[in-house]
Structure formats: C-alpha cells, structure tokens
C-alpha cells in the first residue's frame, strides 16, 4: 500500500509540475438605463425591456465574439490576439449584472483583458441600445494563484487513489497466496 501511494504521489508531482498554470480574473458590470433617459415612464419602459432576459443575455455574448476580442486587444495596446485567453461573460442569476471572466497563462494579462472587456461591453451596449449603459461594479485584479493546476487537490486525489490501489493489490495478493499448511 505504501509503495502504491508513493508512486501515485510521485506521478501527481511530476504531472502537476508539467501543467501550464491558468489564471482567472473577473470583472463585474451592471446594466442600467442610460443617464440620458428622461422621464419616469421612459425609465420604467427601459427597465421592463431589461427584464426580458434576452436583452441582457445578448449583452453577455458580446465579450466572446471575435470583434470584441480584437477590441479588447486594441484597448490593451497589445499586438497579440489573445488566442491563449478565454473570454466569457455570464449574467448573475436574478440580476442585471454581467460577470466577465478571462482565463489564461498570465495573471496580469488576464486582469487587464477582463477590465478591457468590461469597457468594450459598455461601448457595444451603448451602440446597440442607446437607452442602456453599463457601470463597472468591480474591476478585475491579477489573481495570486492559478486555478489550474491545484497541487493540493492533485496530491489528495492521487494519495487516495494510491491507497485504494494499494488496498486492492493487498487484498488480491492475500487471496491468491496459498493458505499456510493447506498443501502439507
């Protein structure tokens, strides 16, 4: 059992060390009626429109489009196309808040891309529906730890699997071993 556990932990250490780290940074923005919307009835109509989840779901699809990704790279002032980064947005349940997540190999770049994506979403929302705007609720900051690999989780899972394999091997070896004094 000890040998199986040690081999599993050694394998986990080697595989974890070979994995490229992936960082996730998130920014949140709220979608609201634009300040230029005047009159109580106009504000109420714009809020009713926003209640139709298709409008805010449309806004959530913006950051992952190729055009938005190019605009994010341009805002960041980088020549690279951010292919190594995943940019997605989701509507937080029962709110008009969009959470923009960026995952990639560099923590600082992921945070900068999430903040740039929030600005791009604001521009696109205003161009699609002049009655809406977005405001950043929380800007992304560079994460201190990668989301992948998670060495602690990898070691715990591999240790448990090693123990299980060792236990199964011990039980099988015990059943296959001839009984003492049975053949004499």
pLDDT for residue 14: 84
For the ranges 21-30, 55-64, 86-95, 127-136, which has the lowest average pLDDT? 127-136
Which CATH class for the 21-138 domain? alpha beta
pLDDT for residue 36: 67
pLDDT for residue 181: 54
pLDDT tens-digit series, residues 39-49: 767 666 777 77
pLDDT tens-digit series, residues 145-171: 999 888 788 888 888 998 899 889 888
Domain range list for the chain: 2-16+149-176, 21-138
Would you say 60 and 95 are in contact if contact means Cβ atoms under 8 Å apart? no
44, 62, 91, 134, 139 from 56: Cα distances, Å: 16, 10, 7, 11, 20
115-152 as b/e, with b when 16 or more CB fall inside 10 Å?
bbbbbbbbebbeeebebbbbebeeebeebeebeebeee
């Amino acid at each position: 059992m000890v040998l199986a556990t040690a081999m599993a932990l050694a394998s986990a250490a080697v595989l974890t060390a070979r994995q490229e780290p992936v960082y996730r940074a998130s920014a949140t923005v709220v979608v609201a009626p634009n300040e230029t919307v005047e009159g109580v009835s106009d504000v109420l109509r714009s809020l009713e429109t926003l209640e139709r989840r298709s409008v805010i779901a449309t806004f959530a699809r913006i950051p992952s489009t190729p055009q938005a990704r190019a605009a994010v790279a341009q805002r960041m002032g980088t020549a690279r196309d951010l292919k190594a980064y995943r940019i997605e947005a989701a509507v937080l349940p029962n709110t008009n808040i969009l959470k923009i997540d960026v995952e990639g190999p560099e923590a600082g770049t992921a945070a900068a891309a999430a903040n740039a994506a929030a600005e791009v979403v604001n521009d696109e929302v205003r161009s699609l529906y002049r009655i809406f705007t977005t405001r950043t609720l929380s800007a992304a900051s560079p994460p201190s730890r990668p989301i992948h690999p998670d060495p602690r989780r990898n070691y715990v899972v591999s240790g448990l699997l090693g123990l299980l394999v060792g236990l199964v091997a011990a039980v099988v070896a015990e059943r296959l071993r001839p009984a003492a004094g049975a053949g004499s």
